[in-house]
Structure 1
Amino acid sequence: MTKKKVHYLRHLIEKNEKNEISEAEKNLLEDFLKKEFDNAEWDSTKMGSKENVSAEIFKNIKAHGTVKKSFAIYYKYAAAACIVLMLGIGVFLNAKVDVKDITVTTASATDSVKLTDGTLVYLAANSVFKYPEQFNSKTRSVTLLKGNAFFKVTKDPKHPFIITSANIKTRVLGTSFHISLDKGRSSVTVITGHVRVSSDKQITYLEPNERAVFSTSGLKKQRVGDMSLYGWYKKDIDLNNVTLHKVFTLLNFKYGVNFKPEDKEMLNTRITLYIKGGLSLRNILDQINYVTHLKFKPYGETVTVSH
């Protein structure tokens, strides 16, 4: 609220207390209180009826003698009236519910989180995601601190969903997309719906099969031909004629391992592979070995690939 508006509200309140307010000014003040009351963020399941709580607030204030009789006509909008009254005496009241942040960290396996608005977030291995226990503001804001995540955002036009990932912000109303964050390099790939991606100096809008990549050179928009990689979060995965590079990237998402090929040309090899949910990494590597005759040697979080 601007200082000019606060000053005018204070002026109206003072006139009302002195019984010098006109009918038009009284209607203006009541309209403002009603608007504040109607637009107030409120969780009825946790806080009860807005009307009942407002009436109780006003009752308690009145009992302590802080509200004059002439102000009693606004009891219906007591919650908003309390805020305006504080502005009138020069005190800004901004009560907020203490919202707890939850951080989820994955290691060598994937995980999923269902947010309070119904949004589903699938986290790849070696990822860190932070979100509020309860959304209380006009936006639904979360943060991807590390790794990869696939989002299926519940549609809510009144409360945009915003993901911060390093140097970019992704803003959506309801859609599905993948975000990758690795050493400060962020990318957003859209599966369904429309997405707005912004950095400090640039903004771009994405549609399905489009990706925005942020690096030291800025924000760039790209077209994505093959979307098979972005089904990594599913229980069963069917890969048809894809490169080993994509297979290894997908396995990195699911199991947190890095692949080190002795010959990078082998990454262009194409295979068809079915990954059933619950299979161990060893089982999957045995399948790839059967098709390609490549050899895999695990060492810690790295798998060496050779002919």
Structure 2
Amino acid sequence: MTKKKIHYLRYLIEKREKNEISEAEKNLLEDFLDKEFENAEWDSAKMRSKEAVSAEIFRKIKPNSPVKKSLVNYYKYAAVACIVLMLGLGILLKSGVDVKDITVTTLSATDSVKLNDGSLVYLAANSVFKYPEQFNGETRSVTLLKGNAFFKVSKDPHHPFIITSANIKTKVLGTSFHISLDKGRSSVTVITGHVRVSSDKQIAYLEPNERAVITTSGLTKQSVSDMWLYSWYKKDIDLSDVTLHKIFTLLNFKYGVNFKPEDKEILNTRITLYIKGGLSLQNILDQINYVTHLKFKQYGNTVVVNH
């Protein structure tokens, strides 16, 4: 549908609501609306009743303009179907159009995804994330299949955001938090807002600076102090007087490598480091070497560290 036609249809609908439309314009508008509404395909099992959803959308589009009783119900629903088509509000009425799932896989670098509700998802290296092309229904559901992700969820109190990851479900309305999946151990760390985490029969409610850890033994709730660790998704990262253990964890998120120190005491070394966006892993290791004189040898996804 061309923009010119969309504007004209919107113009006719507004004239119809103000009772200023001519008979010829009214016939033209209603013929189009009847055709669009009758030909629209609808999966009631997944998307509820077409009439109920249409009425709900109409109320949201015109919050200050209640539906006039003089309007015929059929016309009202047809008008809503037309407005939905014109404004792209996420209800798929055109025949042959399905909601697609998109899977994003990261390898040795981070990536980000903007969902159609405005939420942002930052994926660490070696992560797999699946989400619908657009959200329909009463919830916004996505899946973290592997790795680590940082979520900035847009607020929508009427449509909870639910992340399925391994054996846990994380439910929020609008907040920011980090989810980690690691060989039988999963965790959810909250940065802002409130989060509900459930696993089997256990439930935890988290606030900022709190984490839920889920293992085969069950779910435990912990306090978190090193919140800066979850800034791995940012372009530029300024680290001051931080242990190499924490730095290696952050670099694992960004570059998907595991660090293997030959001497565990190396992990307690504290340094100050500035990581500028776009730098290669080797460039960062060269900076650490310059400060600590440690040596790094990379074998695939493993970096061996020694004196």
TM-based fold match above 0.5: yes
Deviation readout 1:110-144 (Å, 9 max, x if unpaired): 10000000001000000000000010111000000
- Structure 1 partner of 2:55: 38
Residue 204 of structure 2 aligns with an amino acid whose one-letter code is: T
- Structure 2 partner of 1:75: 74
Helix, strand or coil: the match of 1:109? coil
Number of aligned positions between the proteins: 235
Paired with 1:179 and 1:104, the residues of 2 have a C-alpha distance of 16
Residue 75 of structure 1 aligns with an amino acid whose one-letter code is: Y
Paired with 1:250 and 1:41, the residues of 2 have a C-alpha distance of 47
Residue 38 of structure 1 aligns with an amino acid whose one-letter code is: A
Gaps of 5+ in 2: 1-48, 62-66, 79-94
| Post-superposition offset of 1:290 | 1.4
CA shift in 2, pair 1:261/1:136, >3 Å: same
Helix, strand or coil: the match of 2:229? helix
CA shift in 2, pair 1:292/1:275, >3 Å: same
Helix, strand or coil: the match of 1:212? strand
Residue 156 of structure 2 aligns with an amino acid whose one-letter code is: D
Tell whether 2:131 aligns with 1:114.
no
- Structure 2 partner of 1:299: 299
Paired with 1:224 and 1:235, the residues of 2 have a C-alpha distance of 23
CA shift in 2, pair 1:36/1:125, >3 Å: closer
CA shift in 2, pair 1:197/1:290, >3 Å: same
| Post-superposition offset of 1:37 | 5.1
Deviation readout 1:154-198 (Å, 9 max, x if unpaired): 111111100000011010111111100112321000111111111
- Structure 1 partner of 2:273: 273
| Post-superposition offset of 1:38 | 2.9
- Structure 2 partner of 1:223: 223
| Post-superposition offset of 1:43 | 11
4+ aligned runs moved over 2 Å, structure 1: 32-44, 73-79, 95-98
Helix, strand or coil: the match of 2:144? strand
- Structure 1 partner of 2:134: 134
Helix, strand or coil: the match of 2:230? helix
Helix, strand or coil: the match of 1:245? helix
- Structure 2 partner of 1:186: 186
| Post-superposition offset of 1:246 | 0.9
- Structure 2 partner of 1:147: 147
Helix, strand or coil: the match of 1:154? coil
CA shift in 2, pair 1:220/1:104, >3 Å: same
Contact residue 101 and residue 130 of structure 2 kept, 8 A: yes
RMSD: 2.7
Paired with 1:152 and 1:284, the residues of 2 have a C-alpha distance of 27
Gaps of 5+ in 1: 1-31, 45-50, 56-72, 80-94
- Structure 1 partner of 2:238: 238
| Post-superposition offset of 1:205 | 0.6
> How high is the sequence identity, in percent, across the aligned residues?
80
Paired with 2:98 and 2:287, the residues of 1 have a C-alpha distance of 51
Helix, strand or coil: the match of 1:180? strand
* TM-score, with length taken from structure 2: 0.71
- Structure 1 partner of 2:28: none
* TM-score, with length taken from structure 1: 0.71
Deviation readout 1:204-241 (Å, 9 max, x if unpaired): 11111100010011111000011111000000001111
